[in-house]
Structure 1
């Protein structure tokens, strides 16, 4: 078993917990997630995910695979959702909406659609050209050292979350800085470098993709 470090953004993990693949997919409850059935949309066929990911999805995979673009087609009085969008943009955002556990007190955060679309593009590059590599949709993420995990926490999560020590049998190392793009061509270029394990710059920001199950063995920083 390899000892690694994971940022628990929601603050729910305890020693002895195991992060696994799940079917049906599990997502943190929020009002913008598509449910894993046809209760919202009869054309929402979740079985296609089962065909592509027969072993299930990680929580990260579920958040992105069940992403939905939502808008204000109905006023709140009629069951619609009023969204505080920025600037002159109205109508569509990504569903990705996080809130902390009951004791932690996050306010909701809307993520831009680009993060969802980029993750989908990266996964399609993997399926098309690197199918033997560990899917981000079936991974949990962390660092090889506490310092790597804390760098992620500070750079990408504003210092939020607690760092837990975890163990797993298999993981891959990738440059996290490649997980962003500005165009379709950029997705192809960076996706290939990412799945080949190359650095995207002279100062790569390494992350580990851990293959479940991933077991929590210690809480090292809250």
Structure 2
């Protein structure tokens, strides 16, 4: 794995989102309001970081770290809204965001688990309503998402590759006067929107499992 790929994976693994705080903040909001708020934050950050050609290379690192943090907050917030609206309770887990990253990065093992035919199987494994906070862990183990507290090699490689391809375009675009800001903001918008879509799919599946357990 390249140094950049290692940095991307390490940055994601170092995130410590306050899940309880995110649930309190997000669960009563509408899905559209929550997504628009997250999109506005990262679009503005990306545009500002790429506003000045050449200097943008020095500001990209902080912007990427901010983007990663907002991706995790956005994802957990979507879970809070889906779970809070349907069940009036917090069913967020530490393993949820790694699972969502795996979905977002196109990991086939996890992607194939999020199907209607797997709902009953996973519900049986977690066993009962109290198992709602074990669903994410069950998916992470079965899908090979994590190795201990770290992303597995296969997921790390996919996540790093997806990040690298977009950030390369962002770095190159930042050299273009006036256009760089639009490119930087647009790429950040793509990141937050695509992770939100992955989170929405993941948590709707998780809700079905929780209802079946």
TM over 0.5: no
Q: Structure 1 length as normaliser, TM-score?
A: 0.27
Query: Higher strand share goes to which structure?
Result: 1
Query: Higher helix share goes to which structure?
Result: 2
